[in-house]
Amino acid sequence: MADRAFRCILIAAIQSLVGDQIARVALTVLVFTSTGSAAATAGAYALTLLPGLAGGMLGHLADRWPRGTLMVGCDLLRGGLLLLAGLFASSPAIVCFVLALVVMAGGPFQSAGASVVADRLSGEAFRSANTLRQICIQSAQVIGFGVGGVVVSAVGARSGLLIDALSFFVSAAIVHFGIGRQPRDDSAHDSKRSFRAGLRAVLADQGQRVRLGVFCLLGFWIVPEGLAGPYAASVGGGSVRIGVLLTAVPAGFAVGSLVFKQLSSARISRRAVAPLAVFAGLPMIALVGTPPLPVAVVLLMLSGIGTSAFAIALTEYIETAPSANRGQAVGVSQSVGLLVQGVGVIVGGALAEGIGPGRTLALAGLAASVVALPVARARIRWLRRESPQMPATVVV
């Protein structure tokens, strides 16, 4: 926190993310109220994720342009788009389209921000900074989703979208006055700065491939967020219940990340990724009977603790990427993560139409743990090659 640039990026990210979550609640309420369809609601939620695939492909811009300037430009663009969404809040289709563009513009911003932090901090300082950032992001999601349910219920979806627009303008001001231009790193040739080049570089590294495998599990772990509206309707309905359900997984993630950062060494945290990844889906299986809201929240929080495996893997991923091409590497991870999350939400919504949200969440949890098994084994084999002395206490 002594680093001015990190403080500014963290504060900007937290307050704009709170606005994003309010907007997501607004979108969920708009679509589910107008259609009553789980598939349509999940599809609309996916539109807040899938365009990030294209945004991630633009991550290499963080290696081409001054990173501070790029972040400010992205924020101003997103704020303007959300003002437009607020004007057309009565049309869910237009809101979905505009939010898709907002998500796309977020890709270069995230790549630039992660690169600035990694360039300024190293070693344990960077690992602490990234863990703190992940905890704050998840906490902001909890606050945003919780407050979003109340805000949308009290003042309507249009106001929720306008609040999100304001948050991006504030973020742009914080970044502009806090970190400045942050000139690019010219140690790599521009011809090597592209999404395709970044993907090849990541896939050529075994450790990065294993971490991408962990990121792919996000496609299962995101399903509860996509089905928050339908599940809330099945246990009483209301935007407040939607907001509460949406807070559960991020809250568990924040708790898990904090525990593993504060109560364990870096070595133990690295070893914990495999069992945490397998565990994350197991509590979701108990949702098969559509238990009442308090029980569902507890189960999803437990699942969220397991998903903290992602925070550990992401820290390793960013730290390992070369500085001059870090933006494109972060863009690759964003594209992969958002692609699988978007697909997961769409498939989950389609299944919920036929078998109900509770059974769909249980199926997603079971699939998550089954798919996590080979990912965990690959992770363990890689760790043993990196650290031959590692004891066989984390075999999955």
Residue range 182-231, pLDDT digits in tens: 555 544 444 455 667 777 777 888 888 999 999 999 999 999 988 888 89
Cβ neighbours of residue 116 under 8 Å, at least 6 residues apart?
A: 5, 9, 67, 68, 179, 182
Is 328:59 a contact under the CB 8 Å cutoff?
yes
pLDDT digits (tens, 9 = 90+) for 225-269: 888 888 988 888 777 788 788 888 888 888 888 887 766 566 788
Mean pLDDT confidence for 317-329? 78
Mean pLDDT confidence for 358-378? 95
Q: Is residue 391 included in any domain, yes or no?
A: no
Q: Is residue 394 included in any domain, yes or no?
A: no
Q: How many domains does the chain have?
A: 1
Mean pLDDT confidence for 308-321? 87
The residue segments making up the domain with residue 323 are 4-178+197-386
Q: Is residue 127 included in any domain, yes or no?
A: yes
Q: Is residue 230 included in any domain, yes or no?
A: yes
Q: Is residue 392 included in any domain, yes or no?
A: no
CA distance 232 to 284: 15
Q: Above 70 in pLDDT, residue 53? A: no
pTM metric for this prediction:
0.71
Q: Is residue 86 included in any domain, yes or no?
A: yes
CA-to-CA dists, residue 294 to 2, 291, 300, 302, angstroms: 39, 8, 10, 13
C-alpha closest to that of 12 among 123, 120, 112: 112
Q: Report percent pLDDT > 70 for the chain.
A: 88
Q: Is residue 184 included in any domain, yes or no?
A: no
Q: Binning pLDDT at 50, 70 and 90, where does residue 395 land?
A: very low
Q: Is residue 191 included in any domain, yes or no?
A: no
pLDDT digits (tens, 9 = 90+) for 377-391: 999 999 888 765 444
Cβ neighbours of residue 35 under 8 Å, at least 6 residues apart?
A: 41, 92
The CATH number of the domain holding residue 50 is 1.20.1250.20
Instruction: Give me the pLDDT at residue 273, please.
Output: 92
User: Which stretch, 50-59, 108-117, 194-203, 233-242, has highest mean pLDDT?
Assistant: 108-117
